[in-house]
Amino acid sequence: MPYSLPIFEAKANATPIALEPVTGPIGELRDSHERVIRDLRISITDRCNFRCVYCMDPDVRFMRKVDLLTDSEIVRVARVAVSLGVRRLRLTGGEPTLHPTLRELIRDLWNIGIDDLSMTSNASLSSESELAAYRAAGLQRFTVSMDSLRPDRFTQLTRSSTTPERVVQTVRAAQRVGLDPVRINAVIVRGFNDDEIVDLARLARELGTDVRMIEYMPLDSGRQWDMKKVVTADEIIARIKESFPIEPLVRDHTSSPASVYRFADGSPGRIGVIASVTRPFCGACSRLRITADGKIMPCLFSTSEYDLRAVLRQPDCSDEDIAGFLAAATLRKQAGHTIHSEDYRQPDRGMFAIGG
């Protein structure tokens, strides 16, 4: 059916804005720059047991449970998105392992017929048996956030009692239960952890896994981002090459955000670099994000949100309404971020409320 519901910019005291309706068969989610959406990232909770300094304030207040999407709403949206060509789904947070019915949600999402189901976690809470249960339910890939290998620095960063060794133990457990690949993401910040670049590369060799180093992006809740703190992809690669010769590989798929390298001596493990700041890959972006409270963010750097939850909770909401809403929001996906523009403005949400 033709899509006729208005789409509203979901910001406090914002004036509702309507988009041109999507009429007729949608086919697939395609934005106005001819990029097709194949990847959907859904934040299933805004709650987290860490208070990482670049992610959230220590006294942050989480949203009410009633304001978050329910499991059935998440599954319904994902099913409609799959009917529109989405093939890969990633669960994010907050910390998704805090979600009380995570195993059941993974099972239900896998059963809708997606090609790939992955999750990003801080790896501080899951036991090996829980990871095995997630794998049996349908989870395929597991990405771990770990920005430092030094216990004192890790504590300072996360404001938690978790240790890097606990995270490494979880990585090994994830490998043992068959999650593949298991990846480690590290945000590199000059003057904080850039002296650990080689140590992180060494960890990739020891664990036989991918370690992806990410340029520091202006998404911090304290609005303290400074280009001087960015360690560029070129510098990261140069530092690693001083200790471990590495060779570039072809990207896993054209929309992959990481440039990937293997160790020239044949050692297991790989290095990935995500250069969102200095080598934007926006032109190949295939992602759409949905926050835990049901707002569509077409881009990680979006300053406008579109209230999908309001559509879902209308008594007569049909799958066609959801499809039309997803399609209309996708059309508003911006060409790329404007980090280097003088009028750049960070999203109103902190990273924990966006979803990685």
Q: In the chain, which ranges are E strands?
A: 39-43, 88-92, 116-121, 141-145, 182-188, 210-215, 246-248, 259-263, 270-274, 287-290, 295-297, 306-307
Which of 15 and 71 is assigned the larger pLDDT?
71
Q: Which residue has the tokens 């007729």?
A: 24
- In the chain, what percentage of residues exceed pLDDT 70? 86
Is the pLDDT confidence value at 14 over 50? no
Contact 247, 262 (CB under 8 A): yes
- For 39-354, CATH gives 3.20.20.70
pLDDT at position 210 is 96
Single-letter amino acid code for the residue at 169: Q
pLDDT tier at 59, thresholds 50, 70, 90: confident
pLDDT tier at 97, thresholds 50, 70, 90: very high
pLDDT tier at 182, thresholds 50, 70, 90: very high
pLDDT at position 214 is 93
pLDDT at position 346 is 67
pLDDT at position 227 is 79
Q: H-type helices in 193-331, by residue range?
A: 197-207, 233-243, 308-312, 319-331
Lowest-confidence segment of 136-145, 211-220, 286-295, 312-321 by average pLDDT: 211-220
193 Cβ contact list (under 8 Å, min separation 6): 147, 148, 153, 157, 186
Nearest CA among 313, 272, 298 for reference residue 354: 298
Q: In 189-274, which ranges are E strands?
A: 210-215, 246-248, 259-263, 270-274
Query: What integer best gives the mean pLDDT of the chain?
Result: 88
pLDDT at position 154 is 95
Q: Which residue has the tokens 């509702």?
A: 16
Question: Containing H/E element for 134?
Answer: helix 128-137
Residue 63 Ramachandran class (φ > 0 left, ψ -120 to 50 alpha, else beta): beta
Which of 116 and 336 is assigned the larger pLDDT?
116
285-332 residue pLDDT tens: 999 999 999 999 988 878 788 999 999 999 999 999 999 999 999 999
pLDDT tier at 6, thresholds 50, 70, 90: very low
Mean pLDDT throughout 195-201? Answer: 98
Is the pLDDT confidence value at 21 over 70? no
Is the pLDDT confidence value at 17 over 90? no
Mean pLDDT throughout 267-279? Answer: 92
pLDDT at position 24 is 63
Q: SS3 for 72?
A: helix
C-alpha 285/C-alpha 39 separation (Å) is: 9
pLDDT at position 347 is 65
pLDDT at position 325 is 94
Which of 222 and 103 is assigned the larger pLDDT?
103
Burial class (CB in 10 A: 0-12, 13-18, 19+), 21: middle
pLDDT at position 225 is 64
pLDDT at position 10 is 38
Q: What is the pTM of this model?
A: 0.90
Size of the chain, expressed as the number of residues it contains:
356
Is the pLDDT confidence value at 209 over 50? yes
Give how far Cα 292 sits from Cα of 40, 55, 229, 276, 323, Å. 13, 16, 30, 24, 19
pLDDT at position 1 is 36
